[in-house]
Structure 1
Amino acid sequence: MKVGFIGTGSMGSLLIEAFIQSGALLPEQIRVSNRSPEKAQKLAKQHPGLTVCSSNTETASQSDLFFLCVKPLEFKTVISEIKDQLEARQIAISITSPVQLIHLESTLPCKVAKIIPSITNITGGGASLCMYGSRIKEEDRQLIESLLSYISRPLEILESHTRITSDFSSCGPAFLSLFMEKWIDAAVEMTGIDRKTLNALAGEMLLGTGKLLTEEGFSPEQLQERVAVPGGITAQALTLLESNLNGLFYQLIQTTHDKYEEDLAKLDAAFGFTINRPRY
């Protein structure tokens, strides 16, 4: 199987690295193209055997399955460039959340799907959110999820839930990292402890907490109950956090959805759609 990547920016290159490191793909199976050719050439030097194509059309036409790893407002241009070179048997996969399956199916003659990866996939962890177009058959779904299972836990979702699920699986590592950064900053300043120690402790804590939630079946509420003794230090600190965080996460969701809907409206206009969608 030949697998293409149109766009080798942050997430495109991450997926390529993850698939190669996990053994899901050999470099010889991979075709890439990028707006800045030097980025694609760098990947080829790191992974001998990987083919750098001269155009997006070449990448798409030479691949059985290819990932579209470009920014939302670049999509219409890329789609227009490659659509006439595609066959019905091929599978195009968008990793860009505002791009809708209907945008792709209305323009491309091939099968289409959408996945939302996460930076955690480079470790073989985290989820890959999966959505499938109407032309995808069961064997196509199994092929996609088999590939993704090397680097993640594939999870099929409703496309209408793309943004909120992405907040957790894809944006979540950055949100939690900011929380950790501010907590560590305060600890270093107030106690003099070295940052390296706390970085390591925070990482191990997050890893262990993740296992309690995924492998041991704890809910967030149950974890708090197990750790916080009534009247104890943790319980008092949780009260402080709850009072200060009250309302913040509603603002967080509104912020991510506002940006998503802004991009979605621009994509609808670019693809000639006028659709009234529910907000959440």
Structure 2
Amino acid sequence: MVTTALDLSEFCVALPKIELHAHINGSISPKTMLHLKELKKSRYPELANFEVPEQLDRISDFFKLFKFIYKLTDDEEAVSIATRNVIDEFAKDGVRYLELRTTPRRNADTGMTKESYLKAVLDVMNEPRQDDIIVRLIVSIDRRNTLEEAFEAVDLAVKFRSQNVVGIDLCGDVHQGSFEQLRPAFEKARNEGFYVTLHFNEVVENMVEAPNLLSFKPDRLGHATLLDEPTRQNIYSNAIPIEICMTSNVISKTVKTFAEHHVKDLLLENHPFVLCVSFFFK
């Protein structure tokens, strides 16, 4: 009997996987972007010249990209298309458990509300599927949100809890806003029984607020790229799992190379972590 070994890429696809750090609007593939661009170019003529960049020079460039992505997903139909394609692509890559995350958005021009946005995502997420993937949703609170907006996101998570909403996330432009301003909303989320994950120390400017984030005792941390010794000891002693997004870190230049990635420290310490994609760039 002759057997053929899988090459590394085939093996990685065939291996059943979980994905815990997938932003819907950050996971839209270039193929889907091009499809949505065709649907939206009459409304937004400037999209005709929009091209997905081959690389980013710094993390702030990634957040600028969202200006275009949000135009592509400015109504419920587009949100549904994007969500369905993201799930399909993860399933084809061998993911068997997927936690999507997104910040509810409104668009006055199209009539989309934060509730209708979230409903569009969840309706697709809970559609009957032929593959084996299980999908759950984390509702994100953007660092730029007001406290009122943060509470609104938590209230929507509570309203849609029965439709497989499992957690609350702190996300958004790492150079703006603060956790402490939004903390009451996260406290409400915890009191409602939701798990909480926080984007953590992606850039040097975030390090000053690390003690405040850790004092909340989050269930998981996203990235945790830069750790001083007190922060490292706090995370290690409390065994807080870290969502490691190697591709995202290198592409957005928060880590120089894969060889220098901080995942090595976690391996040496036998600290709990999960490898994640964070966003597609292919």
Larger RCO of the pair (alpha carbons < 8 Å, separation 6+): 2
Higher helix fraction (1 or 2): 1
TM over 0.5: no
Q: TM-score, normalised by structure 2?
A: 0.30
Higher alpha-carbon Rg: 1
Higher strand fraction (1 or 2): 2
